[in-house]
Each structure stands twice: as structure tokens, then as C-alpha cells.
Amino acid sequence: MKSLAQLGNELYSGNTSFPFVGRRRLWYAIAGAAVLASIILIGTVGLTPGIDFRGGSEITVTALAKPDVAPANAVLAEEGLASGASVSTVGSSSVRVQTNELTNEQLNGVSAALADAYGVADADVSATTIGPTWSSDVTNKGIRGLVIFFVLVGALIWAYFRTWKMAAAALLALVHDILITVGVYAASGFEVTPATIIGVLTILGYSLYDTVVVFDKVRENTSGYETQNRSTYGELANLAVNQSLIRSINTSVVGVLPVASLLVVGAFILGAGTLRDIALTLFIGMIAGTVSSLFLATPLLVDLRSREAVVKEQAARVAMVRDERIAAAGDDPEALAAVAAAPAAAPVIPGHHRGVSAQPKRKRKRS
């Protein structure tokens, strides 16, 4: 069995190749099904907005030896506030009660009743109210942040790679990441909090970084592609994805493992809502971002560029040269194998990826 290092070397040289671009219709179908499922989840299950987005009152009871939601539910039922309220434990010593917006008189009454029900001092019960103006402002700022992010990302990629098609492919991959993340978040039933928005923006940055690294390799491999008859634009782009595969996997594993630990600790051990919200967003988003940068971004780019006249002409020229080589090879298996292996091979560029060793040797001066 090959080691990861051996596989990486073979992928980089082209001796081993996965058809990321060749089977793009399959990847599109899988991604489309996942996105459709996410949209259905968002439409049917829906997102649960946190108190920061919907407004309301929150009361937290601390210093509990054994947190239990039953006394809080009993208080809410007695006060006639059970409808639309939620009670949950926070960590190992607190209970949190969230209701619709209460008046100061109601808030003080419920706080006192909760202190009596749990047998704690009034100082161990904290209460706060978030009005509709604040929650509306938080929602608008979250949406505005996403829009600004997309605009800046599109402009940056367009300026860096000098082509709008790379920007379009990268943005489509980011839309995929958002929808998948939001769909899974809706299925989890977790509340949408400001930490969730921070997590979404973070994973978009991660996904964009991964995509830009692959695109940079695509640009390097396809530089001057129209002057050679060995490989098409799509084949060189596919080689770039293969060459970036091991790096993407390693980066994802290193990033996902600590996030998974954070998710487990936040959700099941500490019960910390903020940790849980941001960790779930990061966990799903990082996986979706890695998948989209490998299976969607570059295939989408190839589809967008395959309509260009220069790309079509070069692909037709490559096909014609291959037909001639196959005819010349006859029944020679080695010659036929060489023709078949040519599309996946790394481009032959003097000094390609040799760094300092590719520089001319400096002559030593005689003293």
C-alpha cells in the first residue's frame, strides 16, 4: 500500500490522477442534490433565531449544584409565559430561560420566582431584555457583512487572476458552502446567534483560501498552454487539482480535528451555547469548503473557459495530434501507453518547481 507521501509524489508528477474535471457532471449532480436537500431543510425545518435576532428576555440562574429545567418550566407555566419560551441548561451549574419580551415588572417577578424555585440568592439570578430595534440591527449587520464579503472577494479574485471567470467559479463554490452549512445548521436545531455569523464568515475565508491555492496552481500549469499540443486546458487544470489534493487534505484534517473537539466540548460537556454554535458552523463549513475547492471550483472554471475560441481551438489541435500519434504508434503497447499518459503528465518547463537549484551557478572569483 502506498504511503501518503508516495501518493502525493505520484499525483504531482501525473503518474496517478483522479478525474476531478473529467467527471464534473457527477460532482455537479451530487453537489446539486446536497444543496437541494439543504434548501428543503431550511424551508421546512427552518432556522431558529437566537434572542439576539428575534428579541426577547433572558434570565439565567447560576450557582446550581444540579441544574434541572423542571422548576423553571413550572414557574413559566404558573406565570402564563410557557408559550414561546425555552429552558435549557448551561454548563454544569446554570439554567437559562428565554421568553418573549417582558415588561420590567414581569421580568422582576419571574426572576424572584426562579430564585425561590431553585433556592438561590437574588444575586445568582441575572436578567436582560433585547428589544426589536437591537435584534433588527444585528440581523441587518449580519446580512450586510455577507454581501460586503462577496463583493470584496469577487473584486479581489478578479484583480489577482485577471479574469472574472475564476471569480465567478470561486463565488459559486462559496454559495455551495453557505447553503450546505446553513442546511445542516437548520437540521441541528441550534439557535442562530452572532457566533454563528462569525463562524460563517470564517469558513468562507477558509474555503476561499483553499480555492485560491488551487486556482494559483491552475494558472501556473496553464500558463502558455495554447502554444503546446500535449494537453488541453481542462487536463492541465485537472492536474493542478491533483497536485493540490494532499495539501488540501492535510490542511483540512489539521483544521477540522480541533474544531471537532471544540464542538464536543461545547455541546456535550460544557453546554456553552457560543462554543457550540461557532464550532458546528466551522466543522460543517470547513468540510464543505474543502470539497467545493476540489470538486466544484476548478471544474466550474473549466466549463466557463471551455466556451472560449482559443480553448476550443487548442483542444481540437491536441485531439488531432493525439490521433496522429495513435496512428503512428500502431500496435506498439509502449507507444500507445506513452500517448495515453501524456495528458496527465506534469508540464515540462525548464526549472519548473526547482527553486534555487534552477538558478544559474555563480562562478567563484579567483583571489
Q: How far apart are CA 234 and CA 213, in angstroms?
A: 17
What is the per-residue pLDDT for 87? 83
Q: Domain spanning 18-49+134-311 has what CATH number?
A: 1.20.1640.10
Interval 21-40: pLDDT, tens: 989 999 999 999 999 999 99
Residue 353: the pLDDT is 46
307-328 pLDDT, tens per residue? 889 988 988 888 888 777 767 6
All 3 cell numbers of residue 300? 466550474
All 3 cell numbers of residue 241? Answer: 487539482
356: which residues sit within 8 A by CB, 6+ positions away?
A: none
Report mean pLDDT in 10-residue bins for the chain, 367 residues. 68 77 93 95 87 82 84 87 80 82 87 88 86 71 82 85 88 93 90 84 86 91 84 90 88 87 71 73 91 93 91 86 71 59 53 48 57
Please report the pLDDT score of residue 34 as a whole number. 95
Please report the pLDDT score of residue 279 as a whole number: 86
Contact 42, 182 (CB under 8 A): yes
**Domain chopping of the chain, boundaries:** 18-49+134-311, 56-130
- Residue 351, pLDDT score: 47
Check residue 268 and give its pLDDT: 63
CB atoms within 10 A of CB 348: 8
Residue type, 253: V
Domain 56-130 has CATH 3.30.70.260: yes
Q: What are 284's three cell numbers?
A: 460543517
**Nearest in space to 182 (alpha carbons), one of 322, 288, 38, 326:** 38
Burial 188-202 (b: 16+ CB within 10 A, else e): bebbbbbbbbbbbbe
Per-residue confidence (pLDDT) for residue 284, from 0 to 100: 92
201, three cell numbers: 464568515
Residue 342 CA to residue 322 CA, distance in Å, equals 9
pTM: 0.77
d(CA 341, CA 345): 6
